[in-house]
Amino acid sequence: MDKKQQSHTSIQKNTKNHQLEDYRKSHGEQLLTTNQGVRVSNTDDSLKAGDRGPTLMEDFHFREKLTHFDHERIPERVVHARGFGVHGYFQVYESMAEFTKAKFLQDPSVKTPVFVRFSTVVGSRGSADTVRDVRGFATKFYTEEGNYDLVANNIPVFFIQDAIKFPDVVHAIKPEPNNEIPQASAAHDTFWDFVVNTPETAHMIMWLLSDRAIPRSFRMMEGFGVNTFRFINHQGKARFVKFHWKPLLGVHSLVWDEAQKLAGKDPDYHRRDLWDAINMGAYPEYELGVQMLEEEEEFNFDFDILDPTKIWPEEIIPVRRIGKMTLDGNVDNFFAETEQVAFHPGHVVPGIDFSNDPLLQGRLFSYLDTQLIRLGGPNFHEIPINRPVAPIHNNQRDGYHRMTIDRSSVSYSPNSLQGNAPMPASETEGGYVHYEEKVEGKKVRQRSQSFQDHYSQATLFWNSMSTAEKQHIIEAFHFEVGSVMDKQIKQRVVDMFNNVDGQLAAQIAAGVGATPPANPGNAGITASSPAVSQENTVKDAKTRKVAILLENGFNHQEVSQVMEALTAAGVHSEIISKNLGMLTSVDGQQLEVGKNYVTTGSIKYDAVYIAGGQQSINTLMMQGDALHFINEAFKHAKTIGATNEGIDLLMASAIQGVAMAGADTQAQVITEMGVITVRNVTDMKNFTKEFINGMAQHRHWIRQNKKQMIPA
């Protein structure tokens, strides 16, 4: 059984997978037919009047083949066009009956099938994965009570407070309409023009320019429902709720230089990472978290709990982890599943309801509307990936691409010919009953006063960042605003972000050639929320990737010990060399090269290891690619390890001087700035332990000053 089959077997018992089985089709060993089932005798030559003559209209096979091809594309999503979908399941830890009657949140033994689509927002379908952007994290739960969609992002707040401005923010951030430049990037005049004219964007911009917007992997991102929803229990009691996904591997990011290089070297970096992890059986896991508030607590905070530009700080309103999602199956067909899946925040089940968050209210209109055009009519719920596992019975009929053959002559209600069936369900029968919220007010086009503070939480976010995270945000401002042509806009960015922090504004100004603010502003807010800093996340080396640089004449004993220890720790390793093929060690043992320098780069690994073996090292020292590999990994703050003669290669690189003091005399492991070395040892145990510990740190920001001098 190959890996792919294995991953499907693990979701075999899942009800959704069982349903999809009816639609899966393999074409191996079959005779070619037309779409009418007629066998085709030749598909390489069209029917012509003479072998050099014109093609004939009557060639039905030619016309059908070309016509189908001509119509193969559907419009890409207006936002979140580039995505990647996977299957999995969700299990609640304990019954949530006290808070919600949603059936899939009652019984820990029930595995609810899910389909998750991760996405970028701005780029088109063929754009690169690693661009600076928000990531979508949409989950469809196929529950017994119908589909529930949690359509989330990896950033907990949004650019705007009212959905009526969505077309504006999207037009501003998408490529400019005259030349369609730049692709998948906010670094241009129209976006920053929108920002400086829309102060409510301030908090979101801080997140967008932070490391959150360049994740290391979809497997290492949080998800946030952003909007405020409601939980309703069996007694009809409601509570406000915000949803979170917490990845068990922690929240980790790339660095900007690496993200940009990856966009060229491997534009599919994130989808490949997820596809490979699932095929290897390293199933990504996320805990579902909820923040809950009693209705009476609605006005207890210095922010409006319905304002989507605000977080509910976890330190004030804790996240309760209520269950776990495991992603264990890749799709069989990208178009059929990932492209045709249709999410909608309005797909809710009894026990989950909405709030008056004005962004959510607008979203409730937009998703169904966009899907009608994108999926060509009102029957897209019949597409296999969108079908609920719960039965569907209603009087809706016809429309483009109707699959169901409805048998009755009755398609209206009320009716007596069919005893009024299909009949509305009572609440006890599971009928969805909207929460009876009391609403009163004049019709107004106005924003609530309680939505007017745009800077306090932007400052809170800034205050919560570590030194390295702050530095990354400043550098991101330098790139983004540095790419803006209009000088006035640049100046207005500086002035706007002076409201967040005076130091921040001064540093932005210094990098983009603007005037620093005359009076450094500070909202006077010193509060922070440690939970939003990635410094405080889970640290684990599991599923990371190590590059091992080797040439002929390496020390096999060293390499094999290290590789075994890595595998035992759930870390993957790959041998990199100048050429593909086999390499031979000093004692005649052979190892296969996984990648050569033209097919990979340090940017695709979390760490680098250089083993001893004089001849291997002598060759590597003459290779610019190998030295560049080390320099670049160092610059990107990654863990670097070298044993015995391997250290000489580090000495020949631009990082010389780090972790090498005394390295040639002492048989002890030295760790300095995430560079781990040991000489004069044959047992690699202590080294690998330190090396794996180093990798668990994700990055070594302590190198900040030194790395600036590295020309990679």
| Conformation bin of residue 507: beta by default, left when phi > 0, alpha when psi is -120 to 50 | alpha
Nearer to ligand HDE (CB atom), residue 173 or residue 583: 173
- Rounded to whole angstroms, the Cα distance separating 311 from 189 reads 28
Out of 371, 459, 499, 677, the only residue in the binding site for ligand HDE (CB under 6 A) is 371
User: Which of 452, 521, 437 minimizes the C-alpha distance to 200?
Assistant: 452
Out of 8, 77, 252, 271, the only residue in the binding site for ligand HDE (CB under 6 A) is 77
**Dihedrals φ, ψ of 529, to 5°?**
-130, 90
Nearer to ligand HDE (CB atom), residue 155 or residue 508: 155
Site string for ligand HDE, 16-45 (x = CB under 6 A): ------------------------------
For residues 65-99, one letter each, b for 16 or more C-beta atoms within 10 angstroms of the residue's C-beta and e for the rest, the string is beeeeeeeeeebbebbbbbbbbbbbbbbeeebeeb
Out of 363, 492, 700, 707, the only residue in the binding site for ligand HDE (CB under 6 A) is 363
**Of 80, 244, 347, 572, which residue is the catalytic one?**
80
- Rounded to whole angstroms, the Cα distance separating 644 from 614 reads 9
| Stretch in the footprint of ligand HDE (CB under 6 A) among 103-111, 152-160, 479-487, 542-550 | 152-160
| Stretch in the footprint of ligand HDE (CB under 6 A) among 359-367, 408-416, 442-450, 548-556 | 359-367
Nearer to ligand HDE (CB atom), residue 312 or residue 634: 312
- Is residue 694 part of the contact set for ligand HDE (CB under 6 A)? no
Instruction: Supply the minimum distance, in Å, between the C-beta of residue 360 and ligand HDE.
Output: 8
Contact predicate 223/248, CB 8 Å: no
- Cβ-based neighbours of 28, under 8 Å, separated by 6 or more: none
Contact predicate 204/157, CB 8 Å: yes
**Dihedrals φ, ψ of 560, to 5°?**
-65, -35
Q: Within 10 Å of residue 334's Cβ, how many Cβ atoms?
A: 14
- Tell me if 135 is assigned to a ligand binding site: no
- Is residue 370 part of the contact set for ligand HDE (CB under 6 A)? yes
Angle value at C-alpha 404, between 398 and 408, nearest 5 degrees: 75
Element (H, E) at 221: none
| Stretch in the footprint of ligand HDE (CB under 6 A) among 16-24, 72-80, 426-434, 699-707 | 72-80
| DSSP string of 193-211, one letter each residue | HHHHT-GGGHHHHHHHTSG
Contact predicate 268/125, CB 8 Å: no
- Is residue 78 part of the contact set for ligand HDE (CB under 6 A)? yes
- Is residue 388 part of the contact set for ligand HDE (CB under 6 A)? no
Length of the chain: 712
- Tell me if 380 is assigned to a ligand binding site: no
Does the active-site annotation cover 153?
Answer: yes
- Rounded to whole angstroms, the Cα distance separating 202 from 460 reads 12
Nearer to ligand HDE (CB atom), residue 342 or residue 655: 342
Contact predicate 672/642, CB 8 Å: no
Angle value at C-alpha 306, between 92 and 250, nearest 5 degrees: 45
Instruction: Supply the minimum distance, in Å, between the C-beta of residue 167 and ligand HDE.
Output: 8
For residue 585, give both structure tokens: 């060690």
- Is residue 174 part of the contact set for ligand HDE (CB under 6 A)? no
Site string for ligand HDE, 42-71 (x = CB under 6 A): ------------------------------
- Tell me if 367 is assigned to a ligand binding site: yes
Rounded to 10 deg, the angle between the 467-482 and 502-512 helix axes is 40
- Residue of this chain nearest to ligand HDE (CB atom): 136
Distance set, CA 702 to CA 98, 181, 256, 299, 349 (Å): 47, 37, 17, 43, 48
- Is residue 158 part of the contact set for ligand HDE (CB under 6 A)? yes
Nearer to ligand HDE (CB atom), residue 242 or residue 699: 242
Instruction: Supply the minimum distance, in Å, between the C-beta of residue 239 and ligand HDE.
Output: 19
For residue 653, give both structure tokens: 């690189």
Out of 20, 102, 138, 649, the only residue in the binding site for ligand HDE (CB under 6 A) is 138
Instruction: Supply the minimum distance, in Å, between the C-beta of residue 309 and ligand HDE.
Output: 10
- Is residue 242 part of the contact set for ligand HDE (CB under 6 A)? no
Binders of ligand HDE in range 424-453 (CB under 6 A): none
User: Which of 165, 190, 186 minimizes the C-alpha distance to 176?
Assistant: 190
Does the active-site annotation cover 80?
Answer: yes
Contact predicate 493/517, CB 8 Å: no
Instruction: Supply the minimum distance, in Å, between the C-beta of residue 101 and ligand HDE.
Output: 23
**Dihedrals φ, ψ of 44, to 5°?**
-105, -15
- Is residue 306 part of the contact set for ligand HDE (CB under 6 A)? no
Tell me the residue ranges of DSSP E strands in 248-365.
285-294, 320-330, 352-354
Binders of ligand HDE in range 222-241 (CB under 6 A): 225-227
Nearer to ligand HDE (CB atom), residue 92 or residue 122: 122
* CA-based R_g, the chain, Å: 28
User: Which of 564, 571, 529 minimizes the C-alpha distance to 546?
Assistant: 571
- Is residue 119 part of the contact set for ligand HDE (CB under 6 A)? yes
Out of 359, 571, 617, 695, the only residue in the binding site for ligand HDE (CB under 6 A) is 359
Nearer to ligand HDE (CB atom), residue 368 or residue 710: 368
Instruction: Supply the minimum distance, in Å, between the C-beta of residue 170 and ligand HDE.
Output: 8
- Is residue 362 part of the contact set for ligand HDE (CB under 6 A)? yes
- What does the longest C-alpha to C-alpha distance in the chain come to? 95
Nearer to ligand HDE (CB atom), residue 137 or residue 687: 137
**Of 14, 17, 153, 386, which residue is the catalytic one?**
153
Nearer to ligand HDE (CB atom), residue 140 or residue 572: 140
Instruction: Supply the minimum distance, in Å, between the C-beta of residue 274 and ligand HDE.
Output: 14
Binders of ligand HDE in range 314-343 (CB under 6 A): 343
- Rounded to whole angstroms, the Cα distance separating 212 from 648 reads 37
- Rounded to whole angstroms, the Cα distance separating 473 from 143 reads 41
- Rounded to whole angstroms, the Cα distance separating 530 from 172 reads 32
- Is residue 247 part of the contact set for ligand HDE (CB under 6 A)? no
Out of 88, 113, 123, 136, the only residue in the binding site for ligand HDE (CB under 6 A) is 136
Instruction: Supply the minimum distance, in Å, between the C-beta of residue 698 and ligand HDE.
Output: 25
- Tell me if 166 is assigned to a ligand binding site: yes
Residues in binding contact with ligand HDE, number by CB under 6 A:
27
- Rounded to whole angstroms, the Cα distance separating 241 from 228 reads 6
Nearer to ligand HDE (CB atom), residue 290 or residue 669: 290
| Stretch in the footprint of ligand HDE (CB under 6 A) among 86-94, 145-153, 588-596, 668-676 | 145-153
| Conformation bin of residue 351: beta by default, left when phi > 0, alpha when psi is -120 to 50 | left
Distance linking the first and last C-alpha atoms of the chain: 43
Out of 80, 101, 212, 572, the only residue in the binding site for ligand HDE (CB under 6 A) is 80
- Is residue 502 part of the contact set for ligand HDE (CB under 6 A)? no
Question: How much of the chain is in helix, strand and coil states, percent to nearest 5?
Answer: 35, 15, 50
Instruction: Supply the minimum distance, in Å, between the C-beta of residue 341 and ligand HDE.
Output: 6
Tell me the residue ranges of DSSP E strands in 70-155.
83-92, 112-120, 135-143, 146-153
Nearer to ligand HDE (CB atom), residue 119 or residue 653: 119
Nearer to ligand HDE (CB atom), residue 78 or residue 410: 78
- Is residue 117 part of the contact set for ligand HDE (CB under 6 A)? yes
Q: What number of CA atoms fall less than 13 Å from residue 360's CA on the CB side?
A: 25
Catalogue the active-site residues.
80, 153
Residues that bind ligand HDE (CB under 6 A): 77-80, 83, 117, 119, 136, 138, 151-153, 158, 160, 163, 166, 225-227, 343, 359, 362-363, 366-367, 370-371
> Residues annotated in the binding site for heme, as ranges?
77, 117, 166, 363, 367, 374
> Residues annotated in the binding site, as ranges?
77, 117, 166, 363, 367, 374
